[in-house]
Structure 1
Amino acid sequence: MSAASGPIPKKERFDAAGRRVLLVCVAGGFTTLIDQSVLNTSIPALRQTLHAQPAHLQWIVAGYSLAFGLALIPGGRLGDVKGRKWFFVSGLALFTLVSLVSATATDPTVLIAARLLQGAGAGLVNSQMIGTLQDVFDGQLRARALGMYAVTGSLAFALGPPIGGLVLAAAGPELGWRLTFLLNVPFGLATLALAVRHLPRPRPATRHADLDLLGLLLVGALTLALMLPFVQPPGWAGWFAFAAGALALLGALIGWQRRYARTGGHPLIHPALTRSAPYALGTATAMAQFGSSLAASLVLTMFLQDGLGLSPMGAALVSLPSALAMATASALAWRVVQRLGRRTVTIGMTGSALAMLLNGLLAHWAPAAVLPWLLALLQLLSGASVGLMGSTNQAYVLRHAPAEAAGVSGAILQMAQRIAAAVAVSALSGVYLRETAGGGGHRAAYLTASLVCAAVAGLAVLASVFAGRASRREPAAEEPVALSRGRTAVR
């Protein structure tokens, strides 16, 4: 396999206006995407201060991803019709304002409601960013801008735990977890000022909004049917009822999407996307990777603090190698793509699954005195794997989005990842919390959760392999520009 086909195209440069728009989008993405990873470090302190039950914690963490994902599609559609600037500003203002409510909450239910509103605001912001980058940039510059947005998300995910640990170490547990929410406020206000000044003015549109509200409601109901059994275990009869309900909702969603498309509407999930095997399999890969990674990060943080007795700062230091490795791998991934093409995703996903498996085994068998050091070393593999495959997979998935669905393909991909995160976080945190509460011990609980995460990541490896095979049969809409370097990669 060759490293590249033909001569390397000249690298285009962003003009001054383009750089300002990109700055706003990157700042908005970092502010809203780092929120959840910072919170992970604060969960033990938050639980103690608010006397939160396991179900509360699951909703506090998973509710954000759920609302985030469900807001992406209607937010994107409204931005298409009414213009993106003021929806971006409104979403970011909501996110920033509700961060104050989260920081001052004295009851778990208030914090749950605030997290749902924060997630909705973040989803509205990110849907406008994706659309803005597609509106403002073309060709190579668009690919580079979307690549930078993806890398920003990866870095926010990695840097959150160290930042949260530093805040809790400096301010103490009770004040510290509140300050992790207040961190959003100065970043949000600064980004708001930049957005009002530099985002393009709204463009008038002549077509009417077509939001497929029933499709959105069915997706939300299906997600809740998958989440709720893990939040409140219902017994065997209840599990059967939830499974039957989920299957019925899935059938109703498929039937409605087909009917809505036949009547000339724009369904939530564009039929052309489901017909593209590389797009569907690549999205499945992203869902399994994002859900398993976020759940593994949360459970690791709880194990380090509750199981090993580390301080928030100590837990953050264990996670720090992941941030460093992810940043390095994200910056160098384009070189690997030049040599290995689509296999880069499979290799990165395999490394991630292996890291999760080894985490659980070491936590179960290694002596407590050396365990934090061993887990920190494994974070190098975990971070490098995610950095290698995260934005690379996005590039290949969007590359295979059919032309008639290019505008919604990115929003569908993000929505799928966020819904997967909501289900995975609620499920895995529930497994860990219930096993420890039942006397099983923190090591056994972490082993169980890690094995489940590794199994989900293993499914992502299989999906990536099949996506690679399908991509060789199905021509791409366009060749991807490798991350932020602007060089064409081949399969």
Structure 2
Amino acid sequence: MPKITPPVSEHADRSKRQAFWVCVGVASLTILDLSKINVGLPAIEQSLGGGTTELQLIVAGYALAFGLALVPSGRLGDIHSRRLMFIVGLSSFTVASILCALAPTIEFLIVARILQGIAAGIQMPQVLGLIQQLFQGAARGRAFGLFGAVIGVSTAFGPTLGGLLIAVGGPDNGWRLSFWMNVPLGLLALFFAMRVLPKRQSHARERTGLDLVGILLLGIATLGLMLPFVLTTGAPTDDPRRWFWLIVFGLSGAAFFWWERRYQHIGKSPVVNFALFRTASYRNGILITTAYFAAIPPYFLLVTLFLQQGLGLEPVFAGMVSISFALASAVTSWIGGRLVFCWGRQLVALGLVTVMIGFVLVLLAGLFASVGLAPWLIAAAMTMTGVGGGLVISPNQTLTLTEVPVTQGGVAGSMAQVGQRVGTAIGVAAIISTFYATLYAEASQPDRVQVFRDGFLNGILVALVLVAVALVFALVDLFGHRAETSALPKA
């Protein structure tokens, strides 16, 4: 009787699922640090001092360092080992969290946050590259759907978690707990990462030397683009000379483009393959995510500042307002991951329209409801924003990377993440500086709550414009795809 060999697919599927959840868990930990610190900013100010510039650097400096590290780390992961880079990034993130928790001064905390952002930028491209490596076709869409659900929950639950920790530890130590919690979670994730992440990966059949000049030029260009926005707070003391950094961005960006074309022409592998941008789904997906992330993270920060500073809400309750967003976005992210290959980019466009409706409802609640009722109505309106957000992030992620070769998954995902971080820096500058500029301009007004409502109005209007820009890119991609499809010869 012939021996029956059990199928290996069951074991392989289990290994993929384990690796996937390790990746998603670490990505969630990374994203939590983008949002949970928002609610702790007033406590940090009370504990360590510092002004608007220092507090904004704690948020935007993390995003700046995150963005600078993404592409070189994604490239290293693609050509060498995503598993190794993942472990390096996770270990560094854990150590940097310890430094943040022990920070004796506001300046030390800013430096530690920048180091933490670099570590996050090392590990995040590996997450995206590994998901592409582990799954193909419809399974990849479902995987990114779950990924988007977890990321959506992390983004929205971050302020709630930060508020709870401040309630437990008080204004002096509560914000430190938000960093201390990363340490045991990081060590646990490190243990599982070393056990379950795949040790082998396919590589591109090309010369894979690391393009150090390209990496340096791209880093300078990214710094030149993000830094003037990071340094924009809305205070009258903002130095206008910060905008000269955009000249650095223009020159280094042009030099980077020239160098990469030349580097590829002589038969070497550039840090960014510009041929990827000829793919409409990839190019438009990055534009969508850049505009969308210019609105969403600053939107959470704006709502938190308005509730705490304007309406006097305790941090724990200000953070809880976003729970409805988290739950709604988790559900629609999961649904979006299953529908994305049927609906395509129109699913993203629908999500963006829903987000805009949610923004308007949140704005109306903040402007016209009483001080006691406004947080409840804002929380209810956040549900609509969450429904739309879940239909944007995971479907757009899937569509952006669908036509990208797996061998370039890390660097391609890194460019999308760079778009997110650049968008966040620009959005924080545009939205939060508008909020604070309004407060400074109306400082002499006797009605303090109305002043904050005016700042909230102006900030939300900027966020609405940014989401509208994302919608334009989504419609361009949608109608462009339809035009290409209709032009194909019929069988």
Q: Report the TM-score range of the alignment, normalised by the length of the smaller protein.
A: 0.7 to 0.9
Q: Distance in 1 between matches of 2:53 and 2:311?
A: 23
| 1:401 shift after superposition | 3.7
Distance 1:110 1:229, change over 3 A: closer
Of 194, 219, 238, the residue aligned with 2:221 is 219
Which residue pairs with 1:181 in the alignment? 179
**Cα contact 2:47–2:172 (8 A) shared by 1:** yes
What is the SS of the residue equivalent to 1:382? Answer: helix
Of 52, 62, 77, the residue aligned with 1:79 is 77
| 1:266 shift after superposition | 3.5
Q: Distance in 2 between matches of 1:442 and 1:464?
A: 33
| 1:338 shift after superposition | 6.7
Of 467, 472, 476, the residue aligned with 2:477 is 467
Alignment TM-score, normalising by the size of structure 1:
0.86
Percent identical: 34
Distance 1:22 1:403, change over 3 A: closer
Q: Distance in 1 between matches of 2:480 and 2:264?
A: 25
Q: Distance in 2 between matches of 1:304 and 1:404?
A: 46
Q: Distance in 2 between matches of 1:200 and 1:240?
A: 44
Distance 1:381 1:238, change over 3 A: same
| 1:184 shift after superposition | 0.8
Distance 1:343 1:307, change over 3 A: same
Which residue pairs with 2:446 in the alignment? none
Instruction: Deviation per CA, 1:380-406: give whole Å up to 9, x if none.
Output: 111111011210111112124478855
Distance 1:139 1:355, change over 3 A: closer
Which residue pairs with 1:399 in the alignment? 402
Which residue pairs with 1:88 in the alignment? 86
| One-letter amino acid of the structure 1 residue matched with residue 156 of structure 2 | A
Q: Distance in 1 between matches of 2:265 and 2:110?
A: 39
| One-letter amino acid of the structure 1 residue matched with residue 209 of structure 2 | H
| 1:16 shift after superposition | 2.4
**Cα contact 1:84–1:202 (8 A) shared by 2:** no
What is the SS of the residue equivalent to 2:68? Answer: helix
Q: Distance in 2 between matches of 1:265 and 1:350?
A: 43
Instruction: Deviation per CA, 1:77-136: give whole Å up to 9, x if none.
Output: 222333222321121111111111111212111111111111111111112222223334
Q: How does 1:77-226 map to 2 (within 5 A)?
A: 77-201=75-199, 207-211=208-212, 212-226=214-228
**Cα contact 2:217–2:253 (8 A) shared by 1:** no
| One-letter amino acid of the structure 2 residue matched with residue 356 of structure 1 | F
What is the SS of the residue equivalent to 1:230? Answer: coil
**Cα contact 2:66–2:120 (8 A) shared by 1:** yes
| One-letter amino acid of the structure 2 residue matched with residue 217 of structure 1 | G
| One-letter amino acid of the structure 1 residue matched with residue 479 of structure 2 | R
**Cα contact 1:158–1:323 (8 A) shared by 2:** yes
| 1:176 shift after superposition | 1.1
Q: Distance in 2 between matches of 1:452 and 1:226?
A: 18
5+ residue gaps, structure 2, are 1-8, 444-450, 486-491
Q: How does 1:16-55 map to 2 (within 5 A)?
A: 16-55=14-53
Distance 1:113 1:326, change over 3 A: same
| 1:321 shift after superposition | 1.0
| One-letter amino acid of the structure 2 residue matched with residue 291 of structure 1 | A
**Cα contact 1:168–1:312 (8 A) shared by 2:** yes
| 1:188 shift after superposition | 0.4
Q: Distance in 2 between matches of 1:452 and 1:126?
A: 28
202-211 vs 61-70, which moves further: 202-211
What is the SS of the residue equivalent to 1:281? Answer: helix
Q: Distance in 2 between matches of 1:339 and 1:136?
A: 22
Q: Distance in 1 between matches of 2:441 and 2:260?
A: 43
| 1:300 shift after superposition | 0.7
Q: How does 1:70-469 map to 2 (within 5 A)?
A: 70-201=68-199, 207-211=208-212, 212-228=214-230, 230-231=232-233, 238=241, 241-242=244-245, 244-334=247-337, 337=340, 340-401=343-404, 408-440=411-443, 441-469=451-479
| 1:454 shift after superposition | 0.8
Of 65, 76, 85, the residue aligned with 1:67 is 65
Distance 1:249 1:432, change over 3 A: farther
**Cα contact 1:278–1:397 (8 A) shared by 2:** yes
| One-letter amino acid of the structure 2 residue matched with residue 307 of structure 1 | G
Q: Distance in 2 between matches of 1:233 and 1:444?
A: 18
Figure out how many residues of one structure are paired with residues of the other and give that number: 466
129-138 vs 110-119, which moves further: 129-138
Q: Distance in 2 between matches of 1:236 and 1:121?
A: 30
Distance 1:75 1:235, change over 3 A: closer
Distance 1:99 1:143, change over 3 A: same
Q: Distance in 2 between matches of 1:225 and 1:71?
A: 15
Q: Distance in 1 between matches of 2:484 and 2:257?
A: 24
Distance 1:285 1:298, change over 3 A: same
| 1:379 shift after superposition | 0.3
| 1:234 shift after superposition | 7.5
| 1:180 shift after superposition | 0.9
What is the SS of the residue equivalent to 1:61? Answer: helix
| 1:193 shift after superposition | 0.8
**Cα contact 2:145–2:337 (8 A) shared by 1:** no
Distance 1:247 1:71, change over 3 A: closer
Which residue pairs with 1:483 in the alignment? none
Report the RMSD for the aligned CA atoms in angstroms.
2.9
Instruction: Deviation per CA, 1:159-211: give whole Å up to 9, x if none.
Output: 21222222222332222111111111111010011112222336697842235
5+ residue gaps, structure 1, are 1-10, 476-491
Distance 1:367 1:399, change over 3 A: same
Distance 1:16 1:106, change over 3 A: same
Q: Distance in 2 between matches of 1:207 and 1:338?
A: 33
**Cα contact 1:85–1:199 (8 A) shared by 2:** yes
